[in-house]
Amino acid sequence: MALGHGGHDMDKIPEGQTVSLDPIDTTLWVHIFVQMLAFGILFPIGMVLGIIKSRWHVPLQVFSTALALLGYALGHLHGGRQFNPNNVHAKAATPLFFLMVAQVVFGIYLKLHLEKGIHGRIRPFFRLVHGINGKAFPVYAWVQMVFGGITALGFCQGDHIGQCLAHFIMGGAFIAYGVLLTILLLVGQLWLRRTGRSQEFFDSAVIAAWGCVNTFTEHRWGTAWVRNDWQHTTMGIIWWSAGLLGVWLSRDRHGQPKRNFIPGFVILITGWGMSAHPQELMISAMTHQMFGYTLMAAGLTRIIEVSFILRDKPGISEDGTEANSFQFIPVFLLYAAGFLFMGATEEQMLLLAGSGIDHVAYVMILYSLASLLFLFTMAVIHIYDRANPLSKKPLTNGHAVRGDDAQVREANEFELDGLVSDEEDEEHAARRKLLTDDGSEDGPDTPSTVGRNSDRVV
């Protein structure tokens, strides 16, 4: 969390550099692995356990916090390589530490179950803040780990800052997109259906917004246009123009949600552009080319998924619990594309060019990292999904529905109870009388009408 906090010997750092030439010592390696374990693995698992209200949530978060504090201390006690104390990783460590402490304080307060007097008014606020901060912790951890890698190698300084930002933000965005698609694919289909929007509406809206930003930020206005400026700026233009088209196509002529090919097309054409991106080093050119091919494959398989596998349907099954194996291909390729782009900065390519590692080995390493993150994401989602196993899911019209969907139905029925008009009550009473007269009234041997009542309320 705080590389280079201890033993700042600025005399060892060459002029114009931010790190010394000393190797990373054992203490710093332990710091790195401890913080990766605490923030990268245990805190996200604890977050999910909190969402499903598991009894293991508090013990795991207590252990993770203790581990994080140990790592924080080790970050101040290391020897070996020294760092400029103003590095971005050290600056971000302090607010992250206070966010962690605040999360612990909120958790302890909520665990006390103080609900009388003023506590009844402030408790909902604390619960909201605790939930938001906890769910954002994986994002905090990801950013801080990226900062740690940058600081450890002394990268992204001076003229390299701009291209570092482009690579890490765009690469991180592709990985985040892959994570969100994984969540929607495995546990989010029914939620998406309840929004009344197709998935392409949200994808296209984000693409359009991102394109607007890229159109006006990829060229340093007032300076001469160079080849890369033209490519980056026109890529932003295609993003917002195609994104707006995707938003329009996300509804049919009757105003109902409609799937479309636009997000996949934007990913594909972006990959084509990046595969031909001019580079000075051979390893950089080959890495960017593989990044472009991976994006093109992700976009193409996404189009095939929507148009031919799903045939414009929201999902494979009505209850949203099944997924075709082909649907995992574009998702995994987005993870891989993100890692490839994050690992293709100028300084990284220069380091690799002098290390003897060729582009094939490097690409394999990045695909391996993508595989591990994809595995971890699905494992965490599986923990959440196991909280509502299929065998315990209630039936609606003979079909199993997700536990969260059933909870929403029950909540809606509870909240709307008493708000139903007298006309609806009379209509329902008349219908029950008619069923009774026909001998169809529910009895011990007839199916329950609970599911149908939920459907009516919803």
CB 178 within 8 A of CB 332: yes
pTM of the model: 0.82
Same domain for 54 and 102, yes or no, is yes
Average pLDDT, the chain: 84
Q: Which long-range contacts (CB under 8 A, 24 or more apart) does 21-25 make?
A: 21/81, 22/80, 22/81, 22/82, 23/80, 23/81, 24/80, 24/81, 24/152, 25/78, 25/79, 25/80, 25/81
Position 8 scores a pLDDT of 52
pLDDT at 246 over 70: yes
The DSSP-derived string for 26-41 is HHHHHHHHHHIIIIII
Same domain for 123 and 197, yes or no, is no
Position 422 scores a pLDDT of 43
10 Å CB burial of residue 114 (0-12, 13-18, 19+) is middle
Position 17 scores a pLDDT of 83
Same domain for 237 and 357, yes or no, is yes
In this predicted structure, which of 163-167, 174-178, 293-297, 343-347 has the lowest mean pLDDT?
163-167
Domain final residue pick, 154, 178, 198: 154
Same domain for 219 and 359, yes or no, is yes
Q: What is the torsional sign of CA 203, 205, 210, 211?
A: positive
Same domain for 147 and 198, yes or no, is no
The DSSP-derived string for 202-249 is HHHHHHHHHHHHHHHHSS-TTS---HHHHHHHHHHHHHHHHHHHHHHH
**Selected residue with higher pLDDT from 160 and 248:** 248
Position 450 scores a pLDDT of 40
Q: How confident is the model at residue 431 (pLDDT cuts 50, 70, 90)?
A: low
pLDDT at 394 over 50: no
Nearest alpha carbon to residue 320 among 255, 378, 385: 385
Question: Could you tell me what percent of the chain has a pLDDT over 90?
Answer: 62
Same domain for 318 and 224, yes or no, is yes
Q: How confident is the model at residue 423 (pLDDT cuts 50, 70, 90)?
A: very low
Same domain for 296 and 428, yes or no, is no
pLDDT at 328 over 90: yes
Position 399 scores a pLDDT of 47
Q: How far apart are CA 435 and CA 346, in angstroms?
A: 75
What is the residue range of 442's domain?
395-457
Same domain for 321 and 407, yes or no, is no
pLDDT at 143 over 70: yes
Same domain for 169 and 256, yes or no, is yes
Task: State the first-to-last Cα distance of the chain, in angstroms, to the nearest integer.
Answer: 47
Best-predicted range by mean pLDDT (21-25, 289-293, 384-388): 289-293
Same domain for 296 and 438, yes or no, is no
For 282, the token pair is: 């051979």
**Selected residue with higher pLDDT from 380 and 318:** 380
Domain final residue pick, 130, 154, 178: 154
Provide the domain count of the chain. Answer: 3
In this predicted structure, which of 74-83, 200-209, 210-219, 379-388 has the lowest mean pLDDT?
210-219
